[in-house]
Amino acid sequence: MKKIFISILIMLSAVAAISAQEVPSPYVSGEVAPVTDKQVTEYIIDYMKTPAEVKADLPAVLDLWAPWCGPCRRLSPIIDELAKEYAGRVAFYKVNVDDNQMTAMAFHAQSIPMLVFIPADGQLGAIQGLQSKETLTKIIDEYLLGK
């Protein structure tokens, strides 16, 4: 299990000026909320600080993806299902790496899909590539929820 996690070191980077919008809230609806670089740093995790400052109220999963990515498209329905199953306990967000390159760079996304796991406290974790629902459920339960 530990082999599938990649330890993430957060590097300082500059955030492009993007108009501020409030982050969509997936907490109650159980939906995956699309977010921008600016929304990630303001409402989920501020990777500009060292160490990174978690701002989300719940543990979170960031799905780094792109519309042209086949494995990303195959992972999307799995993430949608998990968002519904974990509604109110884990927040799920999608970051289009083509439009939000600062977040992709901050998390050292060298291939996609890449999921970043943000616990309420503790070290970030990440996994790259297409994963099964069972694998992701186990990671969420053990790593984010401590079951």
Q: Which amino acid is at 108?
A: H
> Active-site residue among 23, 33, 72, 95?
72
Q: How many helices (H) and strands (E) does the chain have?
A: 4, 7
- Does 30 participate in catalysis according to the annotation? no
Q: Which residues pair with 93 in a beta bridge?
A: 33, 62
- Does 118 participate in catalysis according to the annotation? no
Which residue reads 């996609």 in tokens?
A: 112
Token digits for 136?
């992701």
CA dihedral 48, 51, 57, 60 (to 10 degrees): 80
CB atoms within 10 A of CB 18: 15
> Active-site residue among 69, 95, 104, 124?
69
CB atoms within 10 A of CB 117: 22
| Cα 121 from Cα 134, distance rounded (Å) | 24
Residues annotated as catalytic (active site), given as ranges: 69, 72
